[in-house]
Amino acid sequence: MQNTESNLVKTLFASVLFAMASCSIFNAKELVKLPKTNSPNSLDSSQAQAVYDRAQYFPNGTQLSICIITGDTEKYVGIERRNDSLVYVENSDSVFEIGSITKTFTGTMLARLVYDGKVRLDDPIKNYLPVTLNQSSLNGKEPTLVELADHTSGLPFEPANVRNDDAHPFDEYAPYKYYSTDRLYDYLSHQLVLQSTPGEKRTYSNLGAGLLGHILTVVTKKTYEELLFETICKPLRMQNTFVELTPEHIHRMVQGRYPNGNLLSFGDGDCDALTGCGGIKSSTRDLVKYLKANISDTTYFYLAQKSTKQFDEHLTGGLGWATYSERGKHHVGAFGATPGYTSGVIFERNTRVGVVLLTNVSSYLAVKGNFTEGLCRALYDPLPFAAVEKKGM
């Protein structure tokens, strides 16, 4: 399974942060495993071992918030590494940054506009922008809305001018926090150069998803958060999902951590004009509502999942979602990483199973392995077959 944030980790931060992560690992004491308990909100032995195998790389103070969905059953499990021991905690309503899982929300909001007949997936992006693109086509093809959503637009990973603003010097721990609409428009009109012919090659792009989110605000004349509430949060009663950090919201958040365990400032994962690529915060309980809507819906939630591009025998693109076909299983997933958080969601419609995993573990620890994605797999892999067996009984 592909880690959608691996480019961010590898290309921007790997060398410095590898050293930071290594120091925290070498200085760690032997980790005490989760206690055995008969509580319904605890993990079985194999799941607990999967957590333990990865939590050895986490600093003290990091948390995992998990839900395992099987049909109508929801199993919430909270875990914290405390004094080099793993303990169960209640954090199903606690809020974490979800990073690139935001892209699925952006894709779903696009799907709603398509479903309502307000835009078309194959509309060129230039139709919705108030500036003239520095390069609007390559080899006779123009980037379209669907190509922003499935990463085939030809746009680069991020805008070049994200790193050269004198007023807000680039901060690797808050790369997009001060990236304004003015800077985005300046880049698009003076610097944009397409990296490949639109529609032909998958190049993972925070810029593309962020630009799509911005275009949705232009079309609707609403802020990204207003559109998020109207399209998804209000219908699903997701009360702990938002973009803007108000004082009330901060009190609900689990604070992100550096690889050494020190606390990051709140809001370093904010994305300003590129909010559509990774600016949402949410809780496990809210994301379960979101996944269950994706499992049962036949309208715009389902439209966002439908295949837009087949990349290889294992990976198919959608509107922010990716469908994976491996070892006889077909499931939809998304993964996210910000400076102080990692996250993952996996689900399958037919067997009605899924996993939500949120952590305040720094994404920079991903240089030691795709731990969040790997843990999602370890929790998810047995579920579809178990659900099918129960259904047939």
Cα–Cα distance, 84 to 361 (Å, whole number): 15
Per-residue model confidence (pLDDT) at position 46: 87
C-beta separation of 209 from 276 below 8 A: yes
Contacts 24+ apart (CB under 8 A), 124-131: 125/153, 125/211, 125/215, 128/215, 128/218, 128/219, 129/185, 129/188, 129/215, 129/218, 130/185, 130/218, 131/185, 131/188, 131/189
Per-residue model confidence (pLDDT) at position 114: 98
Find the range with the poorest average confidence among 114-123, 160-169, 291-300: 160-169
Per-residue model confidence (pLDDT) at position 41: 82
Whether residue 393 is predicted with pLDDT greater than 60 in this model: the reply is: no
Per-residue model confidence (pLDDT) at position 22: 38
Per-residue model confidence (pLDDT) at position 192: 98
What average pLDDT does range 326-345 have in this prediction?
Answer: 89
Whether residue 74 is predicted with pLDDT greater than 60 in this model: the reply is: yes
C-alpha distance across the termini of the chain, in Å: 31
- The CATH code of the domain at 6-24+88-392 is 3.40.710.10
Residue 285 token pair: 């309980």
- List the domain boundaries for the chain: 6-24+88-392
pLDDT, tens only, 230-267: 999 999 999 999 999 999 899 999 999 998 899 999 99
Per-residue model confidence (pLDDT) at position 15: 31
Whether residue 20 is predicted with pLDDT greater than 60 in this model: the reply is: no
C-beta separation of 58 from 296 below 8 A: no
Cα–Cα distance, 95 to 358 (Å, whole number): 9
Contacts 24+ apart (CB under 8 A), 114-122: 114/300, 114/303, 115/299, 115/300, 115/303, 118/219, 119/145, 119/219, 120/145, 121/145, 121/146, 121/149, 121/308, 122/146
Average pLDDT, the chain: 88
What would you report as the CA-atom Rg of the chain, rounded to the nearest whole angstrom? 20
Whether residue 362 is predicted with pLDDT greater than 50 in this model: the reply is: yes
Cα–Cα distance, 62 to 313 (Å, whole number): 36
pLDDT, tens only, 261-287: 999 999 999 999 999 999 999 999 999
pLDDT, tens only, 148-201: 999 999 999 999 999 877 777 888 889 999 999 999 999 999 999 999 999 999
- Provide the pLDDT confidence category of residue 367 given band limits of 50, 70 and 90: low
Whether residue 23 is predicted with pLDDT greater than 60 in this model: the reply is: no
Question: What percent of the chain clears pLDDT 90, i.e. is strictly above it?
Answer: 70
